[in-house]
Amino acid sequence: MIATRPELRGDFGMAASTHWLATAAAMSVLERGGNAADAAVAAGFVMQIVEPHLSGPGGDLAGLIWSADDSAASEICGQGVSPTGVSIDGLRSLGLELVPGSGLLAATVPGAFGAWLTILDRWGTWELPDVLAYALHHAEDGFPLLPGAAASIAAVRELFVNEWTPSGDAWLDHGRAPAANELWRLPGTARTYRRILAEATGATREARIEGARAAFYEGFVADEIERFNRTAWLDSSGDRHSGHLTAADLAGWRASTAAPLSVDFADSYTLLKTGPWGQGPVLAQEVRLFDEVGLMDHPVRSADWIHLLTECAKLAFADREAWYGDPVDANVPLETLISQAYAAERSALIGDSASSELRPGSPDGRTPVLADLPAASAAAGGSVGEPTLQANRPARGDTCHVDVIDRWGNLLSVTPSGGWLQGSPVILELGFPLGTRAQMFYLQPDLPNSLRPGVRPRTTLTPSIVLRDGRPWIAMGTPGGDQQDQWQSVLLADLVQSDRAGSYDLQASIDAPMFHTTHFPSSFYPRESFPRQLVVEDRLDPTVIAELARREHEVVRSGAWTLGRLSAVAKESDHLRAAANARGGAGYAAGR
């Protein structure tokens, strides 16, 4: 296959992300002597400004880092917890069967800011004002509004005019929605970050970073968030609700780090993922299944290969529904779920035809329980992304991603999301809205992912790092909600098979036709599922599509270039590589 762009190669540093301005910021940091952690943090703050429909200061993140100094990897959890004042009974008393997909009831503690500071403090070298300078430049001097952002604003313009009036003040020009590529500024967000920097005093770099964290989580930002949550705003339930977040909720939370989940597969490869507070273990379960079903013995993108990938995904995501949740509060049988013995047992369920059932397993002999979900409308079938409120209809949001590698061998994969402009009303005094991650909780008791006070919802954010022969090889990731680990599984299987054959090309593999299934319940309101549905790009071989249909997959053609926004960086013994997705026209890689 001919790639849309060349795979980048060099030996100094590489960055790849979902927006060219974020990639440019990361590369600028590397060129000025910063390391991969400094570069990723700069890119992350830029994405909050230039991809506001995909990420914001009120959102969250999941990250992985390979530290050259430590010769080890760490997980970074920037997923905030639910308010201490929230409960299933409380939301049920409002007549709700699901947590709304928009508005203040769906808010958790904003985790992204604290997580970026944790990365900068522990693994970076720069001062916070220096990494924030790129985002502040775009917020104050302007940036070209992405067509997707402009479309998101246009879709909720009526809502902004009639209900979420602070959002109208921030995103409309006297009631007019901005046009695609129009120069736009975010002075409110800039003022908040300027004030944080002014309050971030201290005698050492670490003290100044901690001062910034305190200004956000214990200072004026937390106070304003609590004040705003006392007001009722329209949400996707069709009613107006106030929120539950308090300044005490923010003060009691910190981003955390831990050893990542690790599984070996395909003889010489190791996958590193985040824990069961997100969907990270899904890809770990998938690669274990790949070994059991002999996936690597089939030609890439053949009918057999796609069928096996899809059926493996169905089994892994079924286990996600039954078993994943915040391990601080839920008893997740993780060791068994990612074991080879369990994969061998589960692989026996895969047949020649598409399965139509959601089939979680029984790790350690435990009986799985699935949530009872309201019937979903088939009108949303095959949709990609994360739904928010568009008048009385769902609008779609999504996520961002950045990968960075530096000349010292530090490697990062970070997936920030949430705090979308179309997800919740803007807190005008701060210049940004809160996130809506609590929509992933179930309002049914005694499930691993049931709503409880002070716990993390099971996020879909799921970055990846892959080792080859025990040494860091690839950092990769993508936006896409529930599709993230599916699209990554396709890319990973493609790259591993190419690598075992003697060569691989990051860009060609990212550009190749993509697919995913919507067989299992979505993590997002209104939690729809479409058994046996397989969404494919039209560029897939027609004979393969026909064979998949014969095997009883409900094939939906999505268009030629519609699925996946993958990016990746890689390390070889004598050079570095990078590539980014051409779909959507915003993702770019840079390096030298």
Counting Cα atoms < 13 Å in the Cβ hemisphere of 107 gives: 33
Per-residue pLDDT of the chain (592 residues; tens, 9 = 90+): 567 999 999 999 999 999 999 999 999 999 999 999 999 999 999 999 999 999 999 999 999 999 999 999 999 999 999 999 999 999 999 999 999 999 999 999 999 999 999 999 999 999 999 999 999 999 999 999 999 999 999 999 999 999 999 999 999 999 999 999 999 999 999 999 999 999 999 999 999 999 999 999 999 999 999 999 999 999 999 999 999 999 999 999 999 999 999 999 999 999 999 999 999 999 999 999 999 999 999 999 999 999 999 999 999 999 999 999 999 999 999 999 999 999 999 999 999 999 999 999 999 999 999 999 876 443 334 444 444 333 344 445 689 999 999 999 999 999 999 999 999 999 999 999 999 999 999 999 999 999 999 999 999 999 999 999 999 999 999 999 999 999 999 999 999 999 999 999 999 999 999 999 999 999 998 899 999 999 999 999 999 999 999 999 999 999 999 999 999 999 999 999 999 999 988 999 999 9
Q: Tell the residue number behind the tokens 């915040």, with chain if given.
A: 326
Residues 37 and 40: their CA atoms lie apart, in Å, by: 5
Task: Look up residue 483 and give its amino acid.
Answer: Q
Residues 34 and 28: their CA atoms lie apart, in Å, by: 9
Which residue, 72, 67, 80, is CA-closest to 122?
Answer: 67
Task: Indicate the length of the chain as a whole number.
Answer: 592
Q: Tell the residue number behind the tokens 């969250």, with chain if given.
A: 60
Q: How far is CA 578 from CA 401, 407, 477, 506, 507, in A?
A: 14, 13, 12, 7, 8
Which residue, 359, 286, 259, is CA-closest to 318?
Answer: 359
Is the pTM higher than 0.85?
A: yes
Counting Cα atoms < 13 Å in the Cβ hemisphere of 484 gives: 33
Domain ranges of the chain: 32-60+75-256+417-440
Residue 585 tokens, joined: 């026209």
